[in-house]
Homo-oligomer: A and B are copies of this chain.
């Protein structure tokens, strides 16, 4: 099933068209989004997701999202979802119709079932490849018009990178910067475990601040782990006790193979961290 609701509070049939061909979200990828996990019938990290939506809006000079309206539309989709207590909720906010300065932004929330592929990735982990993102870690702060770290609808590169991974026999990607530092996945944050410390790179290098990564860090801290937000190098992707990708719907996913080479088994570390993450919501 799919449940669709617009920001004005109207439910709509997702199987029929609702978007004009001249919506700038379509014509220019000019908009932003969030994907929220609904588990046990409740949204996870909704506050951080809405904060990040507002941050992305600001980076794209979009009107500030109406926080109350997004909370209401989230609840509306939840109230109308009848296919189990776990699903993905997509929030989409575009600049609206081209050439009409009075046009309101287009905003909707859509509930979607979770793919079997995602369920498998959670259990079995994924093979990933490193791919050059072609930028240096200082670029985001120097050149904000490049929208590095905004969750925009302009995700064609991210999708192309995943197709490149498939060509290389993998299903996910870790982007690297020109100086060999680690950035993020196309739809995830990179988390490295070493001893009882978790690492992830800082958002200032031009990546999305991770909502799930932050939740995993909170959970790990509760069970006595140390967490560090600091630059990682490609060497750190191998020199560790566990390499993970954190994303809302896939949660903390183990990377079992990197660039075609099997990594040491990190299932034990993964199990401990996955439990710590779930316990955040217990």
Residues in B neighbouring A163, C-beta threshold 8 A: 61, 145
Interface-located stretch among A27-35, A77-85, A222-230: A27-35
A155→B29 CA distance, assembly (Å): 6
Q: Does A132 contact B (CB under 8 A)?
A: yes
In the complex, are the beta carbons of B157 and A155 less than 8 A apart? no
Q: Does A160 contact B (CB under 8 A)?
A: yes
Shortest Cβ distance from residue A160 to the other chain B in the assembled complex, whole angstroms: 5
Residues in B neighbouring A19, C-beta threshold 8 A: 17-21, 23, 26
In the complex, are the beta carbons of A20 and B14 less than 8 A apart? yes
A153→B133 CA distance, assembly (Å): 19
Copies of this chain in its oligomeric complex: 2
Q: Which of B90, B132, B139 contacts A142 (CB 8 A)?
A: B132
Provide the main secondary structure of the chain A interface.
Answer: mixed
A21 touching B145 in the complex, CB below 8 Å, given contacts A29-B154, A134-B135 = no
Q: Does A25 contact B (CB under 8 A)?
A: yes
Residues in B neighbouring A61, C-beta threshold 8 A: 160, 163
Q: Does A45 contact B (CB under 8 A)?
A: no
In the complex, are the beta carbons of B14 and A17 less than 8 A apart? no
Residues in B neighbouring A14, C-beta threshold 8 A: 20-22
In the complex, are the beta carbons of B60 and A160 less than 8 A apart? yes
Residues of chain A in range 26-67 having any CB-CB distance to chain B below 8 Å: 26-31, 33, 59-61
From A28, A108, A133, A154, residue with most partner B Cβ within 10 Å: A154
Residues in B neighbouring A20, C-beta threshold 8 A: 14-19
In the complex, are the beta carbons of B4 and A92 less than 8 A apart? no
Q: Does A147 contact B (CB under 8 A)?
A: yes
Shortest Cβ distance from residue A140 to the other chain B in the assembled complex, whole angstroms: 9
Q: Mark A1-21, 1 if CB is under 8 A from B, else 0.
A: 010100000000011111111
Residues in B neighbouring A132, C-beta threshold 8 A: 139, 142-143, 146
In the complex, are the beta carbons of B21 and A108 less than 8 A apart? yes
Q: Does A159 contact B (CB under 8 A)?
A: yes
With A27-B33, A99-B115 given, name 12 new contacts (CB 8 A): A14-B20, A19-B19, A26-B26, A28-B158, A29-B156, A30-B155, A131-B143, A136-B178, A144-B160, A146-B157, A153-B156, A154-B155
5 CB < 8 A contacts A-B: A17-B18, A26-B94, A28-B159, A150-B156, A154-B156
